[in-house]
Amino acid sequence: MQSNRQKLRSQQLLTAFLIIFSIILFNIISQNVFFRLDLTSEKRYTISEQTKLILSNLDDVVFIRIYLDGDLNIELNRFRKNIAELLDEFKVYAGNRLEYEFADPFDGADAKTIDRILEELYNKGLAPVNIHQRKKDGSITEKVIVPGAIINYNDSEISLNLLMNNPGKTGAENLNNSVELLEYNLISTIKNLTNNEITKIAFLEGHGEWPDPFIGDLLKELSKSFQIDRGKLNNKADVLEPYKAVVIAGSINAFSEADKFIIDQYIMRGGKVLWLIDGVNIDFDSLATGYSFALPNNLNLDDMLFRYGVRINQNLVQDAQCGILPVNVALAGNAPNFQPAPWLYFPLVSHLGNHAITQNINLVQMRFASSIDTLGARSAVRKTPLLSSSSYTKLREVPALIELREINQQPAEADFRHSSLILGVLLEGTFESVFKNRLVENLGVENLSKKFDISPETKMIVIADADIVRNDIKHTSKGPVISPLGFDKFTNQTYGNKDFLNNAISYLADENHLLALRGREFKLRMLDKTEISKNRLKWQLINILIPAAFVLAGGIAFSLTRKFKYSR
């Protein structure tokens, strides 16, 4: 009997020792071997290799303050949890070089202080959002939040808006899209803030391109990520070499053969170009007098773009899905009375290509856009449409007289027989030089070391509208004030122009391919609100009773098993 007790005690001690040894061994292994499992179908909790690389190479502490705390509704609390989970995942790779905190900027503040804080955060680039919350008594209150973050590194900081606010989508869809873009928005901002090597972008001048004030909002946005230079080519063959991408925005004067050659050779060496080109030249300001002439915008670029695989047509796109134009409807001699009316020449583009550049952005507003043809003969170039017209589109050939009174004419549905016309396209592949088999010695180009006829793998984007990049300017007593790009003062809506162009330039210039993170899609698993409302009691009972029944059944089974075992 004593021997059996000693044997049982020895077995218990051995079991205890093995358990303790296993725990110690597991902790040693876990400290040296790191792995994580993501069992979600869309890999919701898996961050990209580029993100891991950027975080693991941080030289100093990145501190993130997120203004999303306090009394929030269920959806925003869930969004806050998503942010915290992602930042905790970031900390796994960044270690103590990444810190974050959530804050309520209005905690304990009175109305006057709240207004001051709102102004301060707005001036830093954070956009306030009005939300409606339902109280326990059923009443609904309105609250202002600032769902953004300020990211600090050394002595620099960048503001980041985290919540999508697309008026064309529901609140749940906007929140889901915000979660999809969290990793891209956060890591791209961290990369821009901590990157010691500044990528250079050139905005071309010398052909009547938009001056700084008219593209000032985009320049301000891009300056967070790039060094922006503006200038002329000045017959220097190597003038564009330092630049990762070149933007040609709003040219109205013809390009010389020398300038074309310099741009062509920049592309042949792997350079990237964003073309924002009007197919038609029209003086919008002259419409105030009642009419304006639309004429072809002859820039001497047709042969060049044709060789690269596209043709910008000399026509105007009229789209049933369009923006508005304020029109004076007052009788002659009376005070002006401006009323908004649909203007078919201002397409609102919702047909966005299936590409990371266009992922989760609002409608894009265009003005006097033209259609684009892609050329199948250029098989070495892949063409991806980015912007397309709606299913109800009409083409107006030029020269043409555009009259303001057209706004009062009821368009005939039969005339809108075109559908999904390409207005913007991404070209990727190897391009052939337009100067192949041509003598270039007489062009007067300096510093030319070698002429190339075929490019390496590169890319460019062609948009048949120069107004897509133009912001409005408001004149005040303190001087001109630049309005946000895409903001429509007549509807108080901000379209997705800035996001689209920022994405386009980032895609052309980004070597780390972070923009691919914008293509992530998380499935929105919505509850059936009708079913919940109709059978509310049934589902409450199922969710309360069934788990309790499983626990009870398990307890009974355990008790019976134990009783049967020891009764023997």
In this prediction, the residues of the chain whose per-residue pLDDT falls under 70 are 1-8, 12, 29-45, 132-140, 166-171, 329-333, 511-534, 562, 565-568
> What are the strands, taking DSSP E only, across 452-548?
458-463, 473-476, 479-482, 487-488, 493-494
Q: Which residue has the tokens 């073309």?
A: 275
Answer yes or no: are the C-beta atoms of 261 and 447 closer than 8 Å: no
Would the CA dihedral through 280, 281, 283, 284 be positive or negative? positive
| Full set of structural domains in the chain with CATH | 49-192 (3.40.30), 197-283+296-313+357-388+420-484+496-519 (3.40.50)
Sheet holding 351-352, edge to edge: 226-231, 199-204, 245-249, 272-276, 458-463, 422-429, 381-388, 351-352
| pLDDT the model gives residue 231 | 92
Q: Note the pLDDT of residue 115.
A: 85
pLDDT of residue 38: 55
- Kindly state the tokens that stand for 563: 């009783």
Cβ-contact 344, 322 below 8 angstroms: yes
Inter-helix orientation angle 171-180/182-194, to 10°: 40
245 — phi, psi (to 5°)? -150, 155
DSSP calls for 340-407: EEEEEEEEEE-EE-SSGGGTT---EE-SS---EEE-TT-TTEEEEEEEE--SSEEEEESSEEEEGGGG
CA 232 – CA 548 distance, rounded (Å) = 75
Task: Check residue 524 and give its pLDDT.
Answer: 47
pLDDT tens for 438-476 read 888 888 888 888 899 999 999 999 999 999 999 988 877
- pLDDT score of 390: 92
**pLDDT score of 166:** 67
| Rounded CA separation 179/86 (Å) | 10
What pLDDT was estimated at residue 433?
A: 94
CB neighbour list of residue 234: distance below 8 Å, 6 or more residues apart:
none
- pLDDT score of 233: 93
- pTM, two decimal places: 0.76
